Structure 1
Amino acid sequence: MTHVPSAAQFDPASATIAVVTYNRSGLLSRLLTSLATMDPKPGHIVIIDNASTDDTTDVVESFRESLEPSALVYRRLDTNTGGSGGFSEGMRVAYELGSEWIWLMDDDVEVLPDGLAKMGKWAPRFKSIQGRRYDYDGSAFYWQYRVAEPLGIPIPFAPAEFDESGFKPMNSGCFEGMFIHRDIVQQIGLPDPRFFIYWDDQMYGWLASRKTQSVIVDEFVLRRTREIKQWDMGIRHMNASSNAYRYYIMRNRAYIKKYYRSLDVYNPLLFGLGTSLTFGKELIRLVFVERTFRGTSNLFRGLRDGRKIAKDASWQPMPPLLAATAEA
């Protein structure tokens, strides 16, 4: 029998859902519809718009009444800061609102009606929680919740099954559903906007796991609403990518290296192996998912620019919010 914790200590009004969107008003509308009908609802819903050029602003405003005007906070950024910058800003706004819990998500999901209640059941026990989500076709989406720390890469075949406890320890994170307590945000600071896209959530989840017991729980709370081209590998899928992702996948390895060095966990040989495996994986993705060899130049550009970041002696990790509070 699966263990189900008590929700008695969780107040839904103490939670904020923070969404990052960019030029996908149709998907955002579907997500906002799900937020308007969920029960219970969070205390606030923060929408970070990465300088969209479509009708995103109008779409958000059309939901203001159904989401309760006081609960909806809309921030349109002046420039596109990528998912990393958007989630950093979303976390900042939610934190400054006094939120105890912050639930991050992209615009290409919808929340199941009892999603917040399901996450809240685990809130009295853990402070960094990841729920499960359905893929576009309704199947269970497999997320790589464990990181091989010395390599700095996810473990692709970590067990998918849950035992009777209903949770599994994780040392990673995914901004498509990360549910995190303000105490942990205070200690590790905001997500690093310098990543722009890719590796940012894995790094943030890894940092959180160094401060608290992080878990993925056997609760379906989200559903993906965007179909992505995939290569069916049987027990796993490999998604299509883009030239921008290929560039940042390799460039941002340098940021992981910087964080590792700052925390004295960097092993040059093993981390280099992780970078090589990442490069190889992206080549496989190009050939078997996207059926092309074009795009490899973006991998090499990312490596080149990553070397410049690695040499930057002025670089510092994101500061804890404790320090900022003390200075204020």
Structure 2
Amino acid sequence: MEKVAIVVVTYKRQQLLERLLESFSQMTTAPWRIIVVDNENSPETAEVVKRYQKRLEQGETACRWADSADSVVYESQVENTGGSGGFYAGMKRAYELGADWFWLMDDDVVVLPDALEKLSKWMPNHGVVQGSRLDYDGGPFYWQYRFLSALGIYNPIASAKFDSAGCKPTNTACFEGGLFRRDVVEQVGLPDKRFFIYWDDCVYGYLASKVTDSVVVSDVILQRSREVKNWEVTGVRQLNSSSDMTRFYIMRNRGYMARYLMLYGDYNPVGFALGTILSFAKEFIRLLTVDRASFGSGAKRLVAGWKESRKLIHDPSWEPMPNLK
């Protein structure tokens, strides 16, 4: 197994982080490093990581860790930089340490014991591997794995089925379990921390798909550990509850998305405008069906984010994230 660094971003959820770290202890193949990025800069989180490091040093794991004394790296942020900034900082640290692979995840999942064995069979031939997940209740979790660049949205009707090999191509990614090879990270750079939250992983996966073969596989590697209110649309597809802050960034960050699409000649002004309308409509439906109590404030944040996205699209000072080569 090459040097696999797990990069975890956490914020004010020490109990969930403890559950995730415990799942690492049950893994039958140990990772090379665990980078915990603390966006809260919290003494409580630092203590959670310290206790876990001590357990590793005492050998309280399902398998032997080669460098247990240095296996866990605590990366505290001075301010909350969101998931985007957290993954930027964590991947930067892992890259500087010499990681060959970057396995990204939030703090509200747990890893299945044989996850790395499942991923390892795909790693020789693919630069990005996205494993499958279980939802909080143990059922399958549907991930929209096709990005429609002409519209700037996920394909909501992409088939949930896999081929006979248990694999299908993807042109996007998710920071909830996405695995990225070092040379891919070198070519596309680190995640764009300006996104703060939302669309960051979608765009990063889009950029990665331009330089490597990216796949989503049927092997289940994670399970969500936090229950989220949702509305089941059909089958495994569902609309989850959101927040006013997320609603703002869903719309605002389409400005950043448009700039990256322009780099590769995939930006269609008419199609992208239609995709923006569809994104707004989806969030409006979410407010009507799942988050009715936040309807007034939520609608205002959607409009505010849309206005900000227009400024970003026309910002003459914008530059893409630099590559690391």
**Would you call these one fold, judging by a TM-score over 0.5?**
yes
Alpha-carbon distance in 2 for matches of 1:227, 1:205: 26
Match of 1:207 in 2: 207
| Alpha carbons 2:146, 2:158 under 8 Å: kept | yes
Aligned residue among 313, 316, 319 for 2:316: 313
What displacement does 1:47 show?
Answer: 0.4
Match of 2:53 in 1: 64
Alpha-carbon distance in 1 for matches of 2:122, 2:253: 32
Match of 1:326 in 2: none
Structure 1, unaligned runs of 5 or more: 1-10, 323-328
Q: Does residue 29 of structure 1 match 2:43?
A: no
Residue identity in the other structure for 2:49 = V
After superposition, what is the alpha-carbon deviation per residue over 1:108-142, rounded to whole angstroms, capped at 9, x for unaligned? 00100011111111111111010001100000100
TM (norm. structure 2) is 0.94
Aligned residue among 50, 56, 61 for 2:39: 50
Match of 2:59 in 1: none
What displacement does 1:201 show?
Answer: 0.1
Match of 1:246 in 2: 247
Aligned residues between the structures = 311
Percent of counterpart pairs with the same letter? Answer: 50
Match of 2:30 in 1: 41
| Alpha carbons 2:184, 2:211 under 8 Å: kept | yes
Q: Does residue 287 of structure 1 match 2:276?
A: no
SS at match of 1:65: helix
Match of 1:105 in 2: 105
Alpha-carbon distance in 1 for matches of 2:310, 2:209: 27
Q: Does residue 275 of structure 1 match 2:276?
A: yes
| Alpha carbons 2:20, 2:108 under 8 Å: kept | yes
Match of 2:304 in 1: 301
Alpha-carbon distance in 2 for matches of 1:146, 1:111: 24
SS at match of 2:245: helix
Note the 1:1-328 alignment, pairs <5 A.
Answer: 11-12=1-2, 14-53=3-42, 55-67=44-56, 68-235=68-235, 236-292=237-293, 293-294=295-296, 295-322=298-325
What displacement does 1:307 show?
Answer: 2.0
Alpha-carbon distance in 1 for matches of 2:324, 2:244: 34
| Alpha carbons 2:198, 2:249 under 8 Å: kept | yes
Alpha-carbon distance in 2 for matches of 1:90, 1:53: 16
Q: Which moved more, 1:287-296 or 1:274-283?
A: 287-296
| Alpha carbons 2:170, 2:216 under 8 Å: kept | yes
| Alpha carbons 2:149, 2:267 under 8 Å: kept | no
Alpha-carbon distance in 2 for matches of 1:232, 1:263: 35
Alpha-carbon distance in 2 for matches of 1:199, 1:321: 22
What displacement does 1:52 show?
Answer: 4.3
TM (norm. structure 1) is 0.93
After superposition, what is the alpha-carbon deviation per residue over 1:81-109, rounded to whole angstroms, capped at 9, x for unaligned? 00000011111111111111110000000
| Alpha carbons 2:110, 2:224 under 8 Å: kept | yes
Residue identity in the other structure for 1:310 = I
Aligned-residue CA RMSD (Å)? 1.1
Residue identity in the other structure for 1:249 = I
What displacement does 1:51 show?
Answer: 2.2
What displacement does 1:34 show?
Answer: 0.5
Q: Which moved more, 1:307-316 or 1:222-231?
A: 307-316
| Alpha carbons 2:232, 2:239 under 8 Å: kept | yes
Runs of 4+ more than 3 Å apart: none
Q: Which moved more, 1:56-65 or 1:268-277?
A: 56-65
Residue identity in the other structure for 2:25 = A
